[in-house]
Amino acid sequence: MRQIFLDTETTGLSPENGDRVIEIGCVELLNRKLTGNNKHFYLNPGRDSHEEALKVHGLTSEFLRDKPVFEAVADDLLAYLQGAEIIIHNAPFDMGFLNKELALLGRAPLREVVLSVTDTLALAKEMFPGKRNSLDALCGRLGVDNSGRTLHGALLDAELLADVYINMTRGQEALLIDTGSSHGDGQHVQTIDLSVFKLPVLSANEQEMAAHEQVLAELDKASGGKTVWRLMA
């Protein structure tokens, strides 16, 4: 599976009000392994960044003045993303900006080019409800080193996101059941026929059954005699 971790930096928060993309960072994973085949662009947006946005990314108009415009890198970017699963933290934000850039060129939305889009912010909210789920917060929670991150940078953030995602989904590896084939790294996984195992059935003894009934009775009393198992009985 080819996965691309993508992040952008922008002049502000609203593509509909004229804000533009100024940096794109992409990190490629193939079968959950980093390939080194990454993409990184600085872009000239043709306008200044808002003051608050500048504090976040630190990319000044002077620095971006000699960088290419989005149109100049669009074909290269789309060819790179073609057919991949795109993984973004807070995907609606980055997708909104990229789709606006494409629309200005008369091009189709990004979803028509890529295989799928995964939002790690939505995934994190399901895994860690009620907690802070920013990229920095997830790095701290999952043990990903982000000590080199003083300002936001698209490529660095994409690299951190790849590490975070691998940690968030690490349990998936244990769920893979081989059918006789080999992994991509050449290591053969032994297939186990579970039907040959006969699992013993252990029945509760009288003391355990009595203790169980006592717990049920206490629950029934606490609910005012409305427990489902009593009503059905």
DSSP string for the chain: -EEEEEEEEESSS-GGGT--EEEEEEEEEETTEE-S--EEEE---SSPPPHHHHHHH---HHHHTTSPPHHHHHHHHHHHHTTPEEEETTHHHHHHHHHHHHHHTTPPPGGGTSSEEEEHHHHHHHHSTTS--SHHHHHHHHT---TT-SS--HHHHHHHHHHHHHHHTGGGGGG---SS-B-TTSPBPPP--GGG-----PPP-HHHHHHHHHHHHHHHHHTTS--HHHHH-
- The answer to whether 152 is a known catalytic residue is yes
* Candidate list 57, 152, 183, 188, residue with the active-site label: 152
Q: For residues 59 and 61, give the distance between their C-alpha atoms in angstroms, rounded to a whole number.
A: 7
Residue with tokens 């043709």: 46
User: Which residues are annotated as catalytic?
Assistant: 152
